A and B are shown apart, each in its own frame.
Chain A
Amino acid sequence: MTALPGKTDRTLGLVIDLDTCVGCHACVVSCKEWNTGGYGAPLADADAWGAEPVGAFLNRVHTFEVTPDSGAAMNVHFPKSCLHCADAPCVTVCPTGASYKRAEDGIVLVNETACIGCGLCAWACPYGAREQDPVEKVMKKCTLCVDRIYNDNIPEQDRIPACVRTCPAGARHFGDLSDPGSEVSRLVAERGGFDLMPEQGTSPVNKYLPPRAREPESIDLAALCDTDLAEPTGFFAWLDRALERL
Chain B
Amino acid sequence: MHPAASIIAFTVASGAGFGLIAALGLPAAWGAAPTGALFWWGFVVAFALAIGGLLASTLHLGHPERAVRAFSQWRTSWLSREGVLAVATLAVAGAYALSILGGLPVARILGPVAAVLSLVTVFATSMIYAQLRTVDRWHTPLTPVAFLGFALGSGVTIAAALHAATGEARLWPIAALVFTAIGWIARRRAWNAGDRRAPTSTPETATGLGHLGRVRLFEAPHTGPNYLLKEMGFVVARRHAEKLRILAAGVGGFVPMILDIVAWAGVAPALLLSLSAILLLAGLVVERWLFFAEARHAQMAFYDRSHT
Contact = CB atoms under 8 A, between A and B. Distances in A.
Nearest to A202: B133
B62 A200 contact: no
Interface residues of B, number: 61
Given A64-B216, A64-B217, A126-B133, A118 B61 contact: yes
A115 B1 CA distance: 21
A151 interface: no
A34 interface: no
Contact of B133 (A69, A122, A200): A200
Given A66-B215, A114-B69, A200 B200 contact: yes
B209 to A, nearest CB: 5
Contacts, number: 197
Contacts of B189: none
A137 interface: yes
B297 to A, nearest CB: 7
Interface in A20-66: 23, 25, 28, 52-57, 60-66
Given A123-B134, A197-B298, A200-B133, A94 B73 contact: yes
B140 interface: no
B99 interface: no
A138 B205 contact: no
B1 A123 contact: yes
A95 B75 CA distance: 9
Contacts of A2: 73, 75-77
Top 8 A-B residue pairs of the complex, sorted by shortest distance between their CB atoms:
A117-B62, A137-B62, A128-B299, A60-B221, A68-B213, A63-B219, A95-B80, A95-B70
User: Which DSSP category, helix, strand, loop or mixed, fits chain A's interface?
Assistant: loop
Given A57-B226, A96-B69, 11 more contacts: A56-B227, A62-B217, A66-B213, A67-B216, A96-B70, A97-B69, A117-B62, A118-B60, A131-B227, A131-B228, A210-B211
A218 B128 CA distance: 56
A201 interface: yes
A174 interface: no
Given A96-B73, A123-B232, A210 B221 contact: no
21 contacts: A3-B76, A23-B219, A60-B222, A65-B218, A68-B212, A76-B209, A80-B302, A95-B70, A96-B69, A96-B72, A115-B66, A116-B62, A116-B70, A117-B62, A122-B231, A123-B132, A125-B299, A126-B299, A127-B206, A208-B208, A210-B212
Nearest to A131: B227
B17 to A, nearest CB: 20
Interface in A126-150: 126-128, 131-132, 134, 136-138
A74 B63 contact: no
Nearest to B226: A54
Interface in B114-132: 128, 131-132
Contact of B201 (A23, A53, A116, A197): A197
Interface in A183-204: 194-201
Contacts of B228: 122, 128, 131
Interface in A105-119: 114-119
B73 A122 contact: no
B220 interface: yes
Contacts of B67: 116
B197 interface: no
Contacts of B239: none
Interface in B280-304: 297-299, 301-303
Interface string A80-92: 1000000001011
Interface in B185-212: 200-201, 203, 205-209, 211-212
